[in-house]
Structure 1
Amino acid sequence: MNTLRFFARRTGFYLFTAWAAITINFLLPRFMKGDPIQAYLARNQGRVSPEATESLKILFGLNTDKSLLEQYADYWRLMLSGDLGRSLSHGLAPVTDVIASALPWTIGLVGIATILSFAIGTLLGSLIGWNRGSRADVIVPISTFFSTVPYFWMGLIAIAVFGSNLGWFPTSHAYGQGTVPAWNLDFILEVIHHGTLPAMTIVIASLGGWILGMRNMMITILDEDYVTVAQAKGLPARRVLSRYASRNAVLPQIQSFALALGFIVGGTLVMELVFSYPGVGKMLLDATAAKDYPLMQGLFLIITLTVLVANILADVAYAVLDPRTRQTEA
């Protein structure tokens, strides 16, 4: 009963949050100065006829006398049918198609880098916390230092050292110029080669937080009675580490990891700019600069919903791994 009540409350909370985010996403462009048609005409002065302008107004629903509430209802209807509008900066292509062209690049690069950073950082933090006071502690300040370095600076250093000077990796783009994307081994290896440098930069920049968080939780857990009892029983150190200490210390890490996965869709904007990577983050910046409101709305919607789903997964994982959460909520 407590479990059902817990999940019912969380579901209600997230449904309300999703409604609020979608409503704000609907209202913001309507409160901004101008409209997408005016921005499009400003970039194409003298090249758009009055007839084409009127057609654009019809396409974007700007020639209607409908009230704001009626427009809101239309927005929900179109959104639920998968129609997020047309992108003015991409030749009036459907927003869903434009986002779909960039989303795999961001998920592939930032997603893999985030998973690697979490796995490596959690493992190292667990071992460092278990062997506190050893020489391994030196890893913590070193990794923390790299986490404090501005990302764009680290990316530029990586490009200068490993790209320009050593020539080990390409310095920009997801694949070489003139390459035709295809599902074959040569293209996949080329994408991996281009993505290694930005992925490595993401891992190094975020590793310190995972190591420090896991190490601190391990030190706290090691003072708990159940760990002391397990050691007093003469259980092998490896079993105490994996079954008792790490299993409980990793709970906050899992929640943070789920949230980090939610922000993967937003991409690492600075990374995509530094490496000219064709991801969602760079697309959002380009859409903002071009005042492409439909594309901005679509990107904000996708990012917001992804973060909400990640929060739901974090709550579920935490509730499954720690039953005390459900009791507290109840």
Structure 2
Amino acid sequence: MRFYLQKIVFYVVALWAALTLNFFLPRWMPGNPVDILISKLSAKGPVTESTRHALELMLGTNSDEPVFIQYLNYLGSVFRGDLGVSVTYFPANVTDIIGQSLPWTIGLIGVATVISFIVGILLGQLAGWKRGSWLDNFIPVTTMFQAVPYFWLALVLLYFLGSRIQMFPLSGGYDVYTVQPGMSWAFISSVIYHGALPALTIVLSSIGGWMLGMRNMMVSTLSEDYIVTAEAKGLHPRRIMTAYAARNAVLPSLSGFAISLGFVVSGSIVTEMVFSYPGIGSALLTAVQSNDYALMQGIFLVITISVLGANLLVDLLYALIDPRTRVRA
């Protein structure tokens, strides 16, 4: 119980530090979101001082209040779920924009990350168990896809499978001309069809790392004494491979998977830009280009929470898989 309590306290402190940093970083950056918004509104007419003060209150940058009071107001707004108003999509709330973009990113990047991890771990397990086989010799080919520039691989697949063969669509998250968003099979199938090529790009570029890491850990684990003991007892080779070797070899990969799973929320800006996919990565790029500090703050906050949550979950699962981690040094 003490182990789990220490972990929870650590991540609560990390969350507080992330919230604090997320509050001060935009204020240290050059520029002012109020001035940017006023420049947009001034095209429709003159902006008075009272209007400017109202915009400062709305964006949480009231210059009349001390920074500490602004910080407390920011924490209160975050815990209420109020992340402010977006300058780029004014007067839309940041929460609404993130809520619209996040399901697209989780559906695409999340599914592709889980698929690449599961397939990579299983293939790496087999490659490490059968060293020198064709699967073991195939690993350098998979790592080649990870070594090439990500955008280059996306463009190559888009050119051959999307443009030349026309097996997949070139852009978009669904067919906006013939399908209406909703819980219908026509919309779901269109989303799967449009997300297949971006997902394939993510799987090809990441599966090699999971395979190589699992394969090397399997080779190292198979030389341990408890594996030799299990073989001497006459246990079935499949049981030795899965229950003894793979269970211990997969532990380092779980930590890497936690980080990857946490960053699923951040999306892949390159993927979403190449395929014109409507996700959180595209929203983040738009926010950076437009100096939309409220939207940037909101997206960074969601990314931070997802990474911390994923790492906390894996730390707790890690302790269940390997009880040695709960033992105090």
Give the corresponding residue for 1:287: 287
1:207 is matched with: 207
Q: Which residue in the other structure is 1:76 paired with?
A: 75
- Correspondence for 1:33: 30
- The 1-side partners of 2:132 and 2:60 are apart by 66
Residue 46 of structure 1 is matched in structure 2 by 43
- Partners of 1:45 and 1:202 lie apart in 2 by 44
Structure 2 runs not aligned, ≥5 long: none
Matched residue, 2:2: 5
1:34 shift after superposition: 2.4
Q: Report the Cα offset of residue 85 of structure 1.
A: 0.5
Question: C-alpha separation between the residues in 2 aligned to 1:74 and 1:176?
Answer: 42
Match of 2:146 in 1: 147
Shift of residue 306, structure 1, vs aligned partner: 0.7
> What's the TM-score once normalised by structure 1's chain length?
0.95
d(CA) in 2 for partners of 1:56, 1:180:
36
1:1-330 alignment runs, 5 A limit: 4-51=1-48, 52-178=51-177, 179-327=179-327, 329-330=328-329
Measured in 2, the distance between the counterparts of 1:118 and 1:58 equals 45
- C-alpha change, 1:278 and 1:249, in structure 2 (3 Å) is same
The question of whether the paired residues in 1 share the 8 Å contact of 2:62 and 2:70 is answered with no
Query: Could you report, residue by residue, the CA deviation over 1:5-57 in whole angstroms, capped at 9, with x for unpaired residues?
Result: 32222222211111111001111111122211112233455325314444323
Deviates more, 1:316-325 or 1:9-18: 9-18
Structure 2 vs 1, CA of residues 240 and 62 (structure 1 numbering), >3 Å: closer, same or farther?
A: closer
Alignment check: 8 A CA contact 1:255 1:317 kept: no
Deviation, 1:225, is 1.1
CA drift at 1:58: 3.4
CA distance in 2 between counterparts of 1:272 and 1:44 reads 30
Q: Distance in 2 between matches of 1:190 and 1:135?
A: 37
Could you tell me how far apart the structure 2 residues matched to 1:119 and 1:75 are? 40
Aligned-pair CA distance for 1:326? 1.3
- Residues 95-123 of structure 1 show CA distances to partners (whole Å, capped at 9, x for unaligned) of 11110000000000000000100010000
Q: Do the aligned residues in 2 keep the contact of 1:41 with 1:48 (CA within 8 Å)?
A: no
Q: In structure 2, how many angstroms separate the alpha carbons of the residues matched to 1:316 and 1:256?
A: 15
- Residue 315 to residue 104, structure 1, CA distance change in 2 (3 Å): same
Task: Work out the CA distance in 2 between the residues paired with 1:26 and 1:77.
Answer: 12
Give me the whole-angstrom Cα distance separating, in 2, the residues matched to 1:153 and 1:278.
Answer: 20
What code does the residue aligned with 1:267 have?
G
Paired amino acid for 1:315: D
Q: Is the 8 A contact 2:26 2:293 kept in 1?
A: yes
**4+ runs deviating over 4 angstroms:** none
- 2:82 is paired with a residue whose SS is coil
CA shift for structure 1 position 62: 3.8
Give the fraction of aligned pairs with identical amino acids, expressed as a percent: 48
Residues 50-59 or 61-70, more deviating: 50-59
C-alpha RMSD of matched pairs (Å): 1.4
Residues 217 and 249 of structure 1 are in contact (CA less than 8 Å); yes or no, is this contact kept in structure 2? yes
**Taking structure 1 as reference, are residues 41 and 65 closer, same or farther at Cα in structure 2, changes over 3 Å only?**
closer
CA separation in 2, counterparts of 1:48 and 1:66? 28
CA distance in 2, matches of 1:89, 1:108: 25
Q: Residues of 2 paired with 1:166 and 1:68: CA distance?
A: 58
Deviation at 1:250, TM superposition (A): 1.1
- On the 8 A contact 1:259/1:314 being kept in 2, the answer is no
Long gaps (5+) in structure 1: none
- When the two structures are aligned, how many residues end up with a matched partner? 326
